Structure 1
Amino acid sequence: MAMTDVLSAEDIKKAVGAFSAAESFNYKKFFEMVGLKKKSPEDVKKVFHILDKDRSGFIEEEELKFVLKGFTPEGRDLSDKETKALLAAGDKDGDGKIGAEEFATLVAES
């Protein structure tokens, strides 16, 4: 499954482009711009599984660094600071990774 099966290619391009500058990533604005906030819980779960590259059932810190590339190959890597901030926001149980439910909560909060 591709990200464009769930989200509009145009919305993805705009959202990723809006955060192309280093240290500019804001997950709340990004999830809203990309259209994820308006999606059903099933669609949010589909996006989670696309971002979970190693199919572990979690999005680990290493996968978070490439979250924008998960939406489009043109996306930049997040900085270490941005990656740690995103992990801190999403990791509700403190296990160092983001599960599907935590991801859904992260999207809903934005």
Structure 2
Amino acid sequence: MSMTDVLAAADISKAVGAFAAPDSFSHKKFFEMVGLKAKSKDDMKKVFQILDQDASGFIEEEELCLILKGFAANGRTLSAKETKDLLNAGDKDGDGKIGVEEFVAMVAEC
């Protein structure tokens, strides 16, 4: 499954491009621009599975920094600060990673 099976390619391109500058990433704006916020919980889970590159059931810090690349190959790597901010926004139980339910909640609250 690819991201374009769930989200529109034009929305992905526009959203990834909007955060091309270093230290410009805002997960709230990104999830809204890419169209994920308007999707069903099942679609959010599908996106989670794509971003969970090692299929561990969690998106760890190493995967979070590559979140834009998960949406589009030309996406940039997040800075350490952006990655930490994203982890802090999604990691509700403090285990240092984001589970599927935490991801869905983070997207929904944007």
Relative to the length of structure 2, the TM-score reads: 1.00
Take 2:10 and 2:103, find their aligned partners in 1: how far apart are those partners? 23
Take 2:65 and 2:35, find their aligned partners in 1: how far apart are those partners? 21
Aligned to 2:80: 80
> RMSD in angstroms over aligned alpha carbons?
0.2
Take 1:65 and 1:30, find their aligned partners in 2: how far apart are those partners? 14
Take 1:6 and 1:84, find their aligned partners in 2: how far apart are those partners? 26
Residue 24 of structure 1 deviates from its aligned partner by 0.2
Residue 48 of structure 1 deviates from its aligned partner by 0.2
Take 1:55 and 1:44, find their aligned partners in 2: how far apart are those partners? 15
Aligned to 1:7: 7
Q: Which residues of structure 1 form unaligned runs of 5+?
A: none
The amino acid that maps onto 1:85 is D
The amino acid that maps onto 1:12 is I
Aligned to 1:100: 100
Flag as ranges the 4+ runs of structure 1 deviating above 4 A: none
Take 1:68 and 1:4, find their aligned partners in 2: how far apart are those partners? 14
The amino acid that maps onto 1:60 is E
Take 1:102 and 1:21, find their aligned partners in 2: how far apart are those partners? 27
Query: 3-state DSSP class of the match of 2:98?
Result: strand
Residues 16-54 of structure 1 deviation map (CA, whole Å, 9 limit, x = unaligned): 000000000000000000000000000000000000000
Residue 5 of structure 1 deviates from its aligned partner by 0.1
Take 1:102 and 1:50, find their aligned partners in 2: how far apart are those partners? 15
Query: 3-state DSSP class of the match of 1:10?
Result: helix
Aligned to 1:109: 109
Relative to the length of structure 1, the TM-score reads: 1.00
Take 1:76 and 1:61, find their aligned partners in 2: how far apart are those partners? 15
Q: Which residues of structure 2 form unaligned runs of 5+?
A: none
Query: 3-state DSSP class of the match of 1:36?
Result: coil
